[in-house]
Amino acid sequence: IVVGQGAGAQPYVKIFDQNANMLQSFLAYDFGFSGGVRVATGITSSTSNSVNIITGPGIGGSPNVRSFTSSGAPAILDFQAYSIDFLGGVFVGGRGF
């Protein structure tokens, strides 16, 4: 289970197991950003079957989409989904190949 905090909070992503035990927590974006973080899970590589955590910032953040390993390791994919000056937030989704 992967969750992200909403607007008004730091962009923390938390990972829980099937018994609601927190396994990992990490900041997807700068700790000073308080627009929240939107999350999804999916396979982001056609050469790997590992599931990644995909994040998009809430309103007020640049449209920077990131993908982290399922353990919360640093971003393995990092790109601007829209023009850098778009601050409307980004919803993300994931799928398998």
How far from 27 is each of 18, 19, 81, 82, 96, CA to CA, in Å? Answer: 22, 23, 19, 21, 25
The per-type count for the chain, helices as H runs and strands as E runs, is 0, 7
State yes or no: pLDDT of 11 exceeds 80. Answer: yes
Q: Which amino acid would we find at residue 91?
A: F
What number is the average pLDDT over the span 42-70? 86
pTM, entire model? 0.88
Q: Strands 37-42, 22-27: parallel, antiparallel or unpaired by DSSP? A: unpaired
Q: Give whole-number Cα distances, 4 to 46, 68, 83, 92, 96, in Å.
A: 26, 13, 23, 12, 21
Q: Are 62 and 53 in contact (CB under 8 A)?
A: no
Q: What is the mean pLDDT of residues 9-37?
A: 95
Q: Which residue's entry shows tokens 């056609």?
A: 46
Of residues 42 and 55, the one with the higher pLDDT is 55
Residue 78: count other Cβ atoms within 10 Å of its Cβ. Answer: 12
